[in-house]
Amino acid sequence: MSVPEHPKGSPAHGNIADELARGQRNLEVVVVSPAGSIYEGAAHWVTVPGQNGQLGIWPRHAELVAALGAGALRIATGGDRVTRFAVRGGFVRVGQDKVTVLVDRAVTEANVNEAEARRELEETLAELQHPRSDAEYADLLERRAWSETRLKLAGASAAPAAHH
């Protein structure tokens, strides 16, 4: 038996996480972007990129509404199956074992444009050298996370390409 994947930071053995991962109870998950519905179904757990770091959501989670930043959205659907998206902006709402994720932008593993993400990352890294304000700096950090997450989703290194 393989050990189920746990959200980063959660204990991996002998706890409520293992009990929940074995399918004792599920979350109802809906992910929507301006383009339409992205995902709808049951899940063992979900992680979303909060503005101050990843949020792990398990069944029986306290009610919550939080703003999202840029990063990975992961939905564990059973066994070792984890559906992954790169997302940027929006909100998550949790209540009564239902997770609703409203995202401004989302990309699936199959739809990542690696060349575009790499170009945007290089432009953002250049702009980060001389931000004009604290607000611009915060926006650039989110743009960097958005590009890096898409590259990771595509299986590419987020390191800048070498120029010859």
Mean pLDDT of the chain: 86
Mean pLDDT of 107-135: 94
Task: Give pLDDT, residue 109.
Answer: 87
Question: Do residues 74 and 146 share a domain?
Answer: no
Quick one: angle between helices 114-127 and 134-153, nearest 10?
Answer: 150
Residues 26 and 105 in one domain: yes
Pick 103 or 109 by higher pLDDT: 103
CATH code where residue 105 lies:
2.60.15.10
Residue 80: what pLDDT?
Answer: 83
Same domain, 81 and 65: yes
Kindly state whether residues 21 and 70 are assigned to the same domain.
yes
At residue 7, the pLDDT reads 58
| 48, pLDDT greater than 60 | yes
Q: Is residue 80 part of a domain?
A: yes
Q: Are residues 92 and 137 in the same domain?
A: no
- pLDDT digit string, tens, across residues 85-106: 999 999 999 999 999 999 999 9
Tell me the residue range of the domain where 126 lies. 112-153
In whole angstroms, what is the distance from residue 109 CA to residue 83 CA?
A: 9
The answer to whether the CB of 59 falls within 8 A of the CB of 97 is yes
Flag whether pLDDT at 20 surpasses 90: no
Shared-domain flag, residues 99 and 134: no
Q: Are residues 121 and 70 in the same domain?
A: no
Q: What is the pLDDT of residue 119?
A: 96
Q: Is residue 89 part of a domain?
A: yes
Work out the average pLDDT over 50-75: 94
In a domain, 1, yes or no: no
> How buried is residue 6: exposed, middle or buried, by Cβ count under 10 Å (0-12/13-18/19+)?
buried
Say if CB 99 and CB 153 are below 8 A apart.
Answer: no
